Chains A and B, each alone.
Chain A
Amino acid sequence: MKNIVIVTILISLALLGIIFSYVGNIIGDDMVNILSMLAAIIILVITVGVGLKYVNQMKNDKASGQLADENWDGIGEFKNELPIGWAVSFLTTIVWAIWYWFSGYPLWAYSQIGEYNEEVKTYNKKFEEKHANISDDELNNMGQSVFLVNCAPCHGVSADGMDSKAANLTKRLDSISVKHVIMNGSNDGLVGEGIAMPDRNGLININTGNSISDAEISLVVDYITNGFVGSQGAEVFAGVCSACHGTDGTGIPMVAPNIKNFTVDLITAVLQYGKTGAIGKMPSFKTEDMRLTATQQKAVATYIIKLQEGSK
C-alpha cells in the first residue's frame, strides 16, 4: 500500500511537470485557468492511483468465498455479498426512478408547447412595453408591414382592390357597394354584433313618408360616392339616411357606421367579424385566431386611414 502511494505521487508529479512545461507560462492569474489546472491535478492523481491499485490487486489478490453451483466452461461465480458502495448506488437509482416516474417526468419534463408559451409571453411583454406610447408614425409603419403580409394578397399592394377583387381601400365606398347595401340591407357587425341596416323596404324617406324609390337610390348613391356633394342627393340623404348615419355621414356610435371616412373602430370591426358585400367576402381576422393583435389591428387601421386621406 505504501509503495502504491509513493509511486502514484511520483508518476503524478512527472506528468504534472510535463503539462506545466507546456502551459505553465500562460496560466497567469486567470481564475478559470487555475481551476482547470486544479481539476487536472485531481483527475491525474485519482487516475494514476486507482490504476495502480487495480494492477496491484490483479497481481496479489486471491479470490475467496462460496462458489455458485453452476459454472460456464470452467468459469465460476462467487456468491459474495454486494459491496456496500454498489448496494447504496443501486438503491439510490431505484429511489431516483420512483421520483422520476411520478414527479420528474410528468411535472418537470421539457415540453415544446411550454417553450412556445414562454416565447409568446416574453415576446408579448416586450412588444407591449416597446409600443406602450406608440407614435402615429410608428403605427403607420407597423400598419404598412401588417398590410403587405396579411391584406395585400386580396386588396393589392397599393390597396386599390386589384380590379374589384376586394374593396378599394384608398376610397371609402364605391357605388356598387352603396347600392348593394341599400337594396339588400347589411348585417356584418360594423357597429357591433346584430346592429343591422334594413333593406330598401325598411328605408323610409321622412320627407315623403314612402320607402326609398329607384330614383332616390341613384341620387343618394351618387351623392355618397362623389364625396357628399350635390343638393338633390343631399335631400334624400337627409330624409332617409341621416337619422342613423348622422347628418354629415360620419355615423353614430352603436347606431350606424361612418360612411364618409374610414375610422379605427370601423376597420377593427371589419377585422373582427369579416364582411360579405357586393364585392365579395372578406375573411375575419379576429384576435382569437392569433394572427393579429389589437395593436396590429389599430396599426393597419391607421395605415388605411392615412391612405384614404392621402388620395383625397
Chain B
Amino acid sequence: MFHWLEERPFFFAVGVFLTIAFAGLIEILPSFVEASRPTVGTKPYSTLELAGRNVYIADSCNACHSQLIRPFKNETDRYGMYSLSGEYAYDRPFLWGSKRTGPDLHRVGNYRTTDWHENHMWDPISVVPGSIMPAYKHMFSKSADLETAYAEAVTVNKVFNAPYNTAITMRDGSSVTVKLPATYDEAKADMLTEAKIIANSMKNQDVKDAVEKGEIPQIVALIAYLNILK
C-alpha cells in the first residue's frame, strides 16, 4: 500500500494533509468550541445596550480602551477577574482593542456609576485632574440610532440564534430574559423605559427632557452599555 502511495505524489499529498488535519481537528476544535461557548451569566445585549455599543464603536472608544483583562495580578487588582473567552460570545464585533491609552473597560460597570459617567463624558478633567481623554459633549444632544440597534438585535437573533426571549441562568442562579419584541414600536417603548431609569440618575436637564419627549440621547445609550460591562 505504501509503495502504491509513493508512486502517486498527488494521493500522497492528500494523505499527508488528512493525517495532519486530523491531529489539528481533535486537538484544536474541541477546546475552541468549549472556549467560545457563552460563560454562565453571559447574556445578549438589549437593544438599548446595542445602540450604546454602536456609539462606543462610532466614537472609537476602542482606539484608547481595551476590553480584555489579562490574567496578571497587577491587572486583576485594578479591574477584577480576568476575562474569559466565553464572555464575548455575543460581541459582534468583539472590542478587545489593542492599545491602552486609557484603562481597560471590560468590567467598568462594577466600579463606575451612571452619574460618574455623566460627569466624566461631559468633562473628564472635572473628575480626573489631568485626564487626556476627550470630552464627548455632543453625545448629550445627538440621538442614538435605535432603528439600527433593533435591526442588529433581530439579525443576530435570526441568523446566529442569539438567545433573546429565552430564560438565561445567571451566576447567582437567578434567571434573566432579554426581551426582543416582534415590532420596532414595542422595542422602542422598552428602550424608553430602560432609558428613563438611567436619565433619572442623571443631572443634565436637556437629557431628561429629551427622554421625556421620547428621544434617547447617545449618552444614555452609551451609559446603559457601560453599566452592563461587568
Q: For the complex, is B114 an interface residue (Cβ under 8 Å from A)?
A: yes
Within 8 A of A (CB), among B44-99: 71-73, 76-82
Which residues from A are CB-within-8-Å of B3? 68-70
CA distance A174 to B199 in the complex (A): 25
Known: A116-B71, A162-B127, A290-B81. Is A281-B110 also a contact (CB below 8 A)?
no
Give bound CA distance, A119 to B82, whole Å.
Answer: 14
Per-position binary interface string of chain A over residues 267-288, scored 1 when its CB falls under 8 Å from any chain B CB and 0 otherwise: 0000000000000111111000
B111 at the interface (CB under 8 A from A): yes
B148 contacts chain A at the CB level, 8 A cutoff? no
Which of B73, B110, B129 is close to A123, meaning CB atoms less than 8 Å apart? B73
Q: Which of A56-64, A146-154, A201-209 contacts B (4 or more CB under 8 A)?
A: A146-154
Interface size for chain A: under 10, 10 to 19, 20 to 34, or 35 or more residues? 20 to 34
A-contacting residues, B187-206, CB 8 Å: 201
For A280, give its contact among B77, B80, B110, B115 (CB under 8 Å).
B115
Give bound CA distance, A74 to B126, whole Å: 85
With a CB–CB cut-off of 8 A, which chain B residues contact A68? 3
The reply to whether A281 and B114 form a contact with Cβ atoms under 8 Å apart is: yes
Give the residue of B80, B113, B126, B127 whose beta carbon is less than 8 angstroms from that of A290: B80
Residues from chain B with Cβ under 8 Å of A131 in the complex? none
Interface residues in A89-115 by Cβ distance below 8 A to B read 112-113, 115
A165 at the interface (CB under 8 A from B): yes
> What interface size band does chain B fall in?
20 to 34
B114 neighbours in A (Cβ, 8 Å): 281
Tell me whether A283 and B71 are in contact in the complex, defined as CB-CB below 8 angstroms, given that A153-B116, A162-B127, A291-B78 are known contacts. no
Contact A290 B77, beta carbon cutoff 8 Å: yes
Q: Assuming the A-B contacts A165-B127, A281-B115, A285-B111, are A113 and B71 also in contact, with contact meaning beta carbons closer than 8 angstroms in the complex?
A: yes
Interface centre among A112, A285, A291 (most CB of B within 10 A): A291
A19 in contact (CB, < 8 A): no
Interface hub of A68, A113, A119, A154 (most chain B Cβ within 10 A): A154
User: Quick check: is B7 within 8 A (CB to CB) of the other chain?
Assistant: yes
A289 within 8 A of B: yes
Report how far A129 CA is from B192 CA in the complex, Å. Answer: 53
Chain A neighbourhood of B127, CB < 8 A? 153-154, 162, 165
Say yes or no for B128: interface residue by CB 8 A criterion. Answer: yes
Are A283 and B73 in contact, CB atoms less than 8 angstroms apart? no
Closest B residue, CB atoms, query A120 = B73
By beta carbon, the residue of chain A nearest B110 is A289
Contacts of B71 in A (CB 8 A): 112-113, 115-116
B129 to chain A: closest residue by CB: A157
- Chain A residues closer than 8 Å to B78, beta-carbon distance: 149, 291
Docked-complex contact B129 and A291, CB < 8 angstroms: no
Given A70-B3, A70-B7, A153-B128: A165 in contact with B115 (beta carbons within 8 A)? yes
User: Is there a chain A Cβ closer than 8 Å to B112's Cβ?
Assistant: yes
User: Does any Cβ of A come within 8 Å of B39's Cβ?
Assistant: no
- Residue B119 interfacial (CB < 8 Å): yes
A281-B201 in contact given A69-B3, A120-B73, A289-B80 (Cβ < 8 Å) = yes
Which residue on B lies nearest to A79, using beta carbons?
Answer: B3
Given A119-B73, A154-B127, also A165-B119 (CB < 8 A): yes
Residue positions of A touching B, CB distance < 8 A? 68-70, 112-113, 115-116, 119-120, 123, 149-150, 153-154, 157, 162, 165, 280-285, 289-291
A sample of 29 inter-chain contacts (CB < 8 A) reads A68-B3, A70-B7, A113-B71, A115-B71, A116-B72, A116-B73, A116-B82, A119-B72, A119-B73, A120-B73, A123-B73, A153-B128, A154-B127, A162-B127, A165-B115, A165-B119, A165-B127, A280-B113, A281-B114, A282-B113, A283-B110, A283-B112, A283-B113, A289-B110, A290-B80, A290-B81, A291-B77, A291-B78, A291-B80
Known: A116-B71, A154-B127, A162-B126. 10 other contacts (CB 8 A): A69-B3, A70-B7, A113-B82, A116-B73, A119-B73, A153-B112, A153-B116, A165-B116, A281-B114, A291-B78
